[in-house]
Amino acid sequence: MNWIYLTEAATVLDSLTWTIVAVGIGIVFLSLLIVYWFFRYVLTFILNFRFRSFARKRGIDPAEALTTKTIQSGEVNAAIAMALYQYFNELHDVESGVMTIKRVSRHYSPWSSKLYNMKNL
C-alpha cells in the first residue's frame, strides 16, 4: 500500500522537476540577457551623456569632441606601438646563460640540530 503512494509521489516529483529545471534555466538566460543589455546600451548611454555634459562645461561642441577623441591617425598608433615595443625590450638584461655552482662547506649550526628538540625523560 505504501508502494502506491511512493509511485504517485515520484510521478508528481518528476513533473515538478522538469518545471523547476525549465524555470531555472529561463531565469539564468533572462539574467544574462539583462546584463548584456545593461553593458551594451545603458552603460554606453550613461558614459556618452557624461562625456557630452563634460564637453558642454568646457565649451566644446560634443559632436566635435567625440570625433576628435575616437579618430587617430595610423602614424600615432604606430609611434605608440613602437615606443611600447622598445620599452618592454629594454626591461630585461642581456645575460650570458652560464650558471656557476659554488659548493660551500657548512659548519655545524645548533639551529638545525634535532638533539635540542628532543625532551629528556
Per-10-residue mean pLDDT, the chain, length 121: 60 78 95 93 82 74 60 80 86 69 66 64 61
* Amino acid 1: pLDDT: 46
* Amino acid 102: pLDDT: 74
92: left (phi over 0), alpha (psi -120 to 50) or beta: beta
* Amino acid 6: pLDDT: 59
Cβ atoms of residues 62 and 56 within 8 Å: yes
* Amino acid 62: pLDDT: 64
* Amino acid 28: pLDDT: 97
Q: Domain boundaries in the chain?
A: 2-90
* Amino acid 25: pLDDT: 96
